[in-house]
Structure 1
């Protein structure tokens, strides 16, 4: 084995937006950044606290120096350059361990465990990525070679990559760059949240470290056991879903890649050149999921053809609707139908594993309920698919799915006109199923909300008034247009984990991505919209009934 120098670089700044100066807040009587540094360096690896050269970080730097911690100061916004300059004295084969000062649980033992596994691999990057690794959100670290850092430093030109350092490394390796499940635990702890990003996070983590004599030495394993143990119910366990309202991601819908989709679509399907641009923009923006289906024409085959290998995207697809099946099929016939659909998706997508396979029509699920779910479980057990999902149309269907623990992914139609989802029973079931990802489609109601009343169904008599009210909300809440209003409204709901949005061209996607950097609506703003549109006919929410 090559004798590689190892350096832990602890990234910290005082100018955090959601919880200013959080790295200075005391945990167990020790400022957070200092506690992180002491825990991470407990096995003797060199550690440097890398902060900015902004005056706002002068006190943090002094505090670190007074605590015997090496510091390095460089640009505030270009964190990637900070890492490169902080490691100029190292050789290409040497290793950097990247950690951040808002995650106090990782310690020297945690770092050693990841390093040991990294040495078994023939690659230049490895990192945690909750929930895929089964670890709590915030129990995290990344390892990469200087060779990889320097190469990607030259290739990464967008602001997002410069700020988040390892975006292109992770994209390049995809799932191979994520530590495997069961490396640390046999149980799945990805529902836990152990980072500090909000005041609620801080109060929770401060409680976890309370009454611990030596917080810099306590094992990370003990802390996880304390958080998850039944004897610590007084500590409110923060679930990963609690964070979704702050960091709601975008899933790229692909219906437009195989069919002309949406009543306002003026472009048709993008050609291969345009589709490659769309996928490249999506990848550079950090979009994780592509949402497709057997019923989306040639969408799957186009993705299989044009996606670079390996691809960092995770795939959600839907099995073929049960149209061409006999009236009273046997169990074998249903199993064969499902197998055919799943394996055809694998073939078209050029993948041997699909992250989420969904039942496209709820009516199919109801008709052959256990037979369908049991066959999909069979494919999970054989490593072909990751999770089972269902696409639903109304709260009653969603409630049914939420009551079945085999179903881990639900897609619903949801937008600022659709009041049906404030159903109390639905929301109660959502609260009980924190393991379920809920994706919202039809955010623009197939483009209807973005257009003038002339595009709306002729049977809807008050369409002009609805359009006027939408425009009024855009102006009153100082949003950047109707697209921004629609996205910020859906993002404001903490139980929605992602918005499924399709585009016709690359420019549309760039505009959509910009809106995800805006703040979601406040609760009061959201409630005003809910009140205004609570008496619309339900027929409006289902385009098939227009």
Structure 2
């Protein structure tokens, strides 16, 4: 197999996270939302290299509208339902209405995947109706695959048997090995569920220079020092190492990468190694305050 073929296959395992097409996102993001011209250029480059999966959501500002305006009919688009409002009388109808609204914004007749952004709703009395509605959308051909985005392994322990997903999106990076250690990545793959890994860069923290770590994370300086030392010992940039860690896992089908502009996207593509390697397990952390970005606002 040629080097170019190997890299092309790895590009195909990347999924373009488009939250920054609709919002300013990421703790190290200083460039703001991606403009329409840059969106067009990024999508054109993605198609050129064989990156065909786009990840978006109704909650990502006007990300869906941006994609629809750019034209994404040749991409496999995965979107997510927003949280269920307390005043929703018919959860099944709500699911369908939200899906049709997303299709309208995306200017697509169907999407590749529909996920629940907050799957804990499945454990409420509305859960069966919501899941049934998603199954009906799949049966109609409006959605190819259904599933949910999870944040902790215990969520899968509650959900997996009752609500068997086609896709699960979960966090995975060199510092966060919870879904690997718990056995869930292997179990999902063995059961035929596609695994989409997000947070490959831990919202940019893994890419920040040693002296550029935000002050609120100073208590974990030793964790990041160990990460940078490992990268240096391997002769890798943090970007090469972070990408390689996720791409090295054979049971991960897609690795989400968010970009703040064309230059960053080009840098990501250039950093995909033909022979990705995983970081050692002892670099990972079990401190939820560090590895779960939803906790950062309270630091």
Q: TM-score, normalised by structure 1?
A: 0.50
Distance (whole Å) between structure 1 residues aligned to residue 240 and residue 199 of structure 2: 14
Residue 441 and residue 261 in structure 1: after superposition, are their counterparts in 2 closer, same or farther (change >3 A)? same
Aligned to 1:530: 281
Distance (whole Å) between structure 2 residues aligned to residue 469 and residue 305 of structure 1: 43
The reply on whether 1:338 has 2:95 as its aligned counterpart is yes
Residue 431 and residue 315 in structure 1: after superposition, are their counterparts in 2 closer, same or farther (change >3 A)? closer
Distance (whole Å) between structure 2 residues aligned to residue 488 and residue 458 of structure 1: 27
Residue 493 and residue 458 in structure 1: after superposition, are their counterparts in 2 closer, same or farther (change >3 A)? same
Q: How does 1:144-543 map to 2 (within 5 A)?
A: 249-307=13-71, 311-322=73-84, 324-326=85-87, 330=89, 333-367=90-124, 368-404=126-162, 406-427=164-185, 429-433=187-191, 435-451=192-208, 452=210, 454-456=212-214, 458=216, 461-463=219-221, 465-479=222-236, 481-521=237-277, 526=279, 529-534=280-285, 536-543=286-293
Residue 530 and residue 513 in structure 1: after superposition, are their counterparts in 2 closer, same or farther (change >3 A)? same
Unmatched tracts of structure 2, length 5 or more: none
Residue 377 and residue 431 in structure 1: after superposition, are their counterparts in 2 closer, same or farther (change >3 A)? closer
Distance (whole Å) between structure 2 residues aligned to residue 249 and residue 432 of structure 1: 18
Count of aligned pairs between the two proteins? 293
Distance (whole Å) between structure 2 residues aligned to residue 389 and residue 292 of structure 1: 14
Distance (whole Å) between structure 2 residues aligned to residue 514 and residue 269 of structure 1: 23
Which structure is larger by alpha-carbon Rg, 1 or 2? Answer: 1
Q: CA deviation at 1:401?
A: 4.2
Q: CA deviation at 1:532?
A: 3.2
Distance (whole Å) between structure 1 residues aligned to residue 290 and residue 176 of structure 2: 9
Q: CA deviation at 1:457?
A: 5.7
SS state at 2:147 partner? strand
Unmatched tracts of structure 1, length 5 or more: 1-15, 19-158, 165-243
Cα pair 1:414 1:490 within 8 Å, conserved:
yes
RMSD (CA atoms): 2.4
Q: How does 1:3-14 map to 2 (within 5 A)?
A: none
Distance (whole Å) between structure 1 residues aligned to residue 189 and residue 115 of structure 2: 22
Cα pair 2:11 2:269 within 8 Å, conserved:
no
Q: Which has the higher contact order (CA 8 A, sep 6+)?
A: 2
Cα pair 2:12 2:50 within 8 Å, conserved:
no
Distance (whole Å) between structure 2 residues aligned to residue 17 and residue 352 of structure 1: 37
Question: Normalized per residue, which structure has more helix?
Answer: 2
